Amino acid sequence: MRILAIDTSCDDTSAAIVENGRQILSSVVLSQTETHRLYGGVVPELASRLHTEAICGAVERALTEANTGRSSIDAVAVTCAPGLIGALLVGLGFAKAMAFGLNIPLIPVHHVRAHIAANYLAYPDLEPPFVCLAASGGTTAFIFAKDYTAYRFLGGTRDDAAGEAFDKTARVLGLSYPGGVQIDALAQSGNPSAFRLPHPELADNPLDCSFSGLKTFVVNLVHHAEQTGTPVCRQDLCASFCSTVADMLVPRLIEAARMCKVKTVSAAGGVAANTFLRKRLETACTAAGLRLCLPPLSLCGDNAAMVGAQGYFEVLASNTAGTDCNAYATMEI
Ligand code: KG4
């Protein structure tokens, strides 16, 4: 089954052609970063307008690069939630028109399900059950993938997402948006033990975590240093920050695997591209005797190929929709 997939959930206009949920025939990601960088973060209305300008070209390119005519497309998959509502509606409206015009199924896809499905593209033999750390700009959650379309939320952040903490920390350090990649780069030459940063334990659910305290601590630390004229080594602070995020996420993912009695764990989302996190996951999983699946960096951030992968399994589960399908800013997995 050949699926045309579309993702416009945030600030990338993406289109892809994916075969049988496992093989990428083309993947086009048109980034809006240069525009949003001027404002230090994503401006939702601008994102919607830029998606509207880019969507036709992105889909045409995806079809051309996959050497696929419209008549060879079997279904259209599209991110319908969660995300920026105006941005989502651009992709959804386009997908509805394509599916209606070609008389093929429309498959609404949950964005976090899609991030998890990036692992099916990277590991063609991977099958549920497994647990996944989904960590991006809007999500930080430990998810039990019981089956291709059945999930259990095990725990996650009670406030900010890890990616948001990365972006806010980057901003206070004078790094441009999106900050995660730049913090990662600076951290490579820093000392991860230089700063002791908070990583709270929360009562009730051992898999719940919190990033707002860490974010505020770093913001206050930098402001205080500025006011007192104390120099802050950005490399050391970035390394300490990355190390603290890994301290918060890695043991929880290992615990999630133990709780769900699975031998495979994975990570997904933009933050899963973080070098510290990836290394720490590798070390911890080896020690715990777990198989670790980590998508390549190109499949960690937003892309439509992952939507095409998940879309395939949604079709198999008969999860298709009509043209009355709507987009939602939030939605449980
Ligand atoms: O998955 P994604 O591209 O978009 C969302 O669905 O949110 O994730 C974007 C987030 C941003 O907060 C960005 O700063 C972060 O992922 N990110 C990283 C890295 N690359 C992207 N965070 C840490 N280290 C990285 N290498």
> Beta-carbon neighbour count of residue 261 at 10 Å?
7
φ and ψ at residue 8, rounded to 5 degrees: -135, 40
pLDDT score for 106:
98
- Give the pTM: 0.96
Q: List the chain pLDDT tens, one digit each, 333 residues.
A: 999 999 999 999 999 999 999 999 999 999 999 999 999 889 999 999 999 999 999 999 999 999 999 999 999 999 999 999 999 999 999 999 999 999 999 999 999 999 999 999 999 999 999 999 999 999 999 999 999 999 999 999 999 999 999 999 999 999 988 899 999 999 999 999 999 999 888 888 999 999 999 999 999 999 999 999 999 999 999 999 999 999 999 999 999 999 999 999 999 999 999 999 999 999 999 999 999 999 999 999 999 999 999 999 999 999 999 999 999 999 999
Residue 302 C-alpha from the chain's centroid:
6
Angle between helices 179-187 and 234-260 (to 10 degrees): 100
Predicted local distance difference test score (pLDDT) of residue 177:
86
- 3-class SS at 220? helix
Q: Quote the pLDDT of residue 40.
A: 87
What per-residue confidence (pLDDT) applies to 201? 81
Helix (H, G, I), strand (E, B) or coil at 60: helix
Angle made by CA atoms 158, 163, 168, in degrees to the nearest 5: 95
pLDDT at 80: 98
- Residue-level pLDDT at 9: 98
Query: Residue 292: helix, strand or coil by DSSP?
Result: strand
Peptide bond before 44: cis, by omega within 30 degrees of 0? no
Give the pLDDT confidence score for residue 200 in this predicted structure. 82
Return all residues near 240 (Cβ < 8 A) that are at least 6 apart. Answer: 190, 191, 192, 193, 194, 195, 196, 197
Question: What are 268's strand-pairing partners?
Answer: 134
Task: List the residue whose alpha carbon is closest to atom 3 of ligand 1.
Answer: 301
Q: What are phi and psi of 145, to 5 degrees?
A: -85, 95
Distance 68 CA to ligand 1 centre (A): 31
Nearest CA to ligand 1 atom 16: 270
Q: Which pLDDT score, from 0 to 100, does residue 251 have?
A: 97
**pLDDT value for 178:** 85
Cis (ω within 30 of 0) for the bond into 178? Answer: yes
Question: Cα of 241 to ligand 1 centre, how many Å?
Answer: 15
Ligand 1: distance of its center to the CA of 107 in Å? Answer: 25
Contact indicator for 16, 30 with CB cutoff of 8 Å: no
Report the alpha-carbon distance of residue 202 to residue 225 in Å, rounded.
29
Q: What is the DSSP string of 244-256?
A: HHHHHHHHHHHHH
Question: How far is 161 from 309, CA to CA, in rounded Å?
Answer: 24
Give the pLDDT confidence of 207-254 residue by residue, as tens digits: 999 999 999 999 999 999 999 999 999 999 999 999 999 999 999 999
Q: What is the pLDDT of residue 275?
A: 98
Q: Which two tokens stand for residue 85?
A: 């509502």
Rounded CA-CA distance 61/59 in Å is: 5
Computed over every residue of the chain, the mean pLDDT equals 97
Task: Compute, in angstroms, the gap from residue 227 CA to the centroid of ligand 1.
Answer: 30
pLDDT of 204 reads 87
- The Cα 330–Cα 333 span in angstroms is 9
- Which residues does ligand 1 sit against, CB inside 6 Å? 10, 136-138, 163, 166-167, 178-181, 184, 269-271, 273-274, 301-302
